[in-house]
Amino acid sequence: MAPHAVSEAGYSNGYSNNHSTDSLPSQKDELFTVSSPDVVYTDEHIKSKYVYRTTSVAKSSNGNYVATPKETNYDFQVDRKVGRVGMMLVGWGGNNGSTVTAGIIANRRGLVWDTREGKRAANYYGSVIMGSTVKLGTDESTSEEINVPFHNVLPMVHPNDLVIGGWDISGMSIADAMDRAQVLEPTLKSMVQKEMSYMRPLPSVYYPDFIAANQEDRADNVLPGNKACWEHVEQLRKDIREFKSSNSLDKVIVLWTANTERFADIIPGVNDTADNLLQSIKTGHEEVSPSTVFSVACILEDTPFINGSPQNTFVPGAIELAERHNAFVGGDDFKSGQTKMKSALVDFLINAGIKLTSIASYNHLGNNDGKNLSSQKQFRSKEISKSNVVDDMVAANSVLYKKGEHPDHTVVIKYMPAVGDNKRALDEYYAEIFMGGHQTISIFNVCEDSLLASPLIIDLVVLAEMMTRIKWRASGAEEYKGFHSVLSILSYMLKAPMTPPGTPVVNSLAKQRNALTNIFRACVGLQPESDMTLEHKLF
């Protein structure tokens, strides 16, 4: 089996895997099928009828609430053929890009390597799609819960099958970038070094005003021009088309894992509408960021684009453009270590009736992301994405918090080169408990930053591709349609999840996971698992 290789232009010359997605899956190859008159399997599709149950609430004249159960019937249709999928990373030569590339190669080849702690084998730990399970149901004869791997719920692209390419402002090979990142074990790096030495990123967009000045020495692989222009949009579109064509791909997913940018100012007439944004790019307005230029290129190419950094890539004009073209976008900022812990712990404490009054988060980070964040404008982008993650959980509990009341929340990030990619995250949670008492919880979390972020890149790409194959309609409607352009289903992996305009943001980790799981269950005609276990209680 020939190894996967990428030419100096960033295009794959080979494609090897053990999970070929060219052929159509048959029912006998699937881990389970659903036996229901509401679910139909054809060679091309899984079709299901689904009853969506919600509760509508209104306030009566006396001030009390009236809750009314509601039912809506939907039809779902999932394309069963996955096809060949490419993943293009913006910032391919960074810590995350080089680490996820090495990880996929190692998994594809089933590598085992030596470490000080013994042998280690390639895995996808940290990936929700590849490393977790979903409850399917209960065995009727033994009452045992049956759980299946998440990636077996629907036909999904296997990460081993992804063809990898991308852009970077640094022109060094991805093998050299992997050495520079200092993330992986030397024995593992030696095993993938040759293959990755052929991989070189395409020239990227570089506008110095948007990232820290200390990144200038890396910028030796850039497109001409230091501010937005239509030539950049067209070149990026051409790069996507050529990558897709040269690899015989059915679709490409683009993900930003490059430096954190400063926030772009939202200016009427510049980036507030789709037409204004397009015109601003053409006239070279200086408030259009590189990531927004990438998003516009992807939208015009009908290529899903995901922002893994905290800046406001998706200005109102970019969202409107995505809606106009029915193109998928998602963001912002990978939720990997400290913020994921915060999302889970705050959710638990507030649901337990404990009133958080203060959250203090300190970070020491020594990789290039930390270096870039040592600039105040870039840090501000990160501070915003990390600070809003408790808002919806606080707002949901009117018993603990009066309207407008909110815990004190401080986020500090310091660049400490000595710690490298092993970020130190220190958190203190201070809360009021019964009868005027207090509880303090302190957490010291050493996060191997890129090893936590890389599985999230995989999940985001796999999920975004999956969403291109799901259609739905209200029962009785003639045409199926896709989900809204803003992929809020990706919220579990993102610190500052985007939602369609006018819809609430959900940061609760449990709610985000349930939404992801239950949408997938709906696609195969299964209701959400209630966890009431009435079958064990009513005798």
Active-site residue set: 333, 382, 423, 495
Describe the strand order of the beta sheet including 202-203 as a list of residue ranges: 202-203, 163-168, 85-90, 251-256, 305-307, 329-331
Q: How far is CA 538 from the centre of its chain?
A: 41
- CB-side exposure of 281: number of CA atoms within 13 Å? 24
Q: Convert 424-444 to b/e letters by CB count within 10 Å (16 or more is b).
A: bbebebbbeeeeeeeeeeeee
Q: Convert 15-38 to b/e letters by CB count within 10 Å (16 or more is b).
A: bebeeebeeeeeeeebeeebeeee
- CB-side exposure of 19: number of CA atoms within 13 Å? 19
Cα–Cα distance measured from residue 196 to residue 177, given in angstroms and rounded to the nearest whole number? 9
Q: How far is CA 121 from the centre of its chain?
A: 25
Instruction: Count the neighbouring beta carbons within 10 Å of the beta carbon of residue 417.
Output: 10
Q: Convert 153-163 to b/e letters by CB count within 10 Å (16 or more is b).
A: bbbbbbbbbbb
Cα–Cα distance measured from residue 123 to residue 127, given in angstroms and rounded to the nearest whole number? 10
Q: Are 313 and 295 spatial neighbours (Cβ–Cβ below 8 Å)?
A: yes
Name which of 251, 146, 250, 252 is nearest 202 in CA terms: 252
Which of helix, strand or coil describes residue 312? coil
- CB-side exposure of 413: number of CA atoms within 13 Å? 25
What does each C-alpha distance from 225 to 231, 272, 455 come to in angstroms? Answer: 9, 24, 34
* Total residues belonging to the chain: 539
Q: Got the DSSP string for 404-462?
A: T---EEEEEEEE-GGGTTEEEEEEEEEEE-GGG-EEEEEEEEEEEHHHHHHHHHHHHHH
Q: What are phi and psi of 82, to 5 degrees?
A: -80, -45
Residue 332, preceding peptide bond in cis (omega within 30° of 0): yes
Q: Are 39 and 50 spatial neighbours (Cβ–Cβ below 8 Å)?
A: no
Residue at token pair 């305009």: 501
Q: Are 479 and 473 spatial neighbours (Cβ–Cβ below 8 Å)?
A: yes
Name which of 179, 178, 173, 177 is nearest 197 in CA terms: 173
Q: Are 258 and 204 spatial neighbours (Cβ–Cβ below 8 Å)?
A: yes
Q: What are phi and psi of 104, to 5 degrees?
A: -65, -40
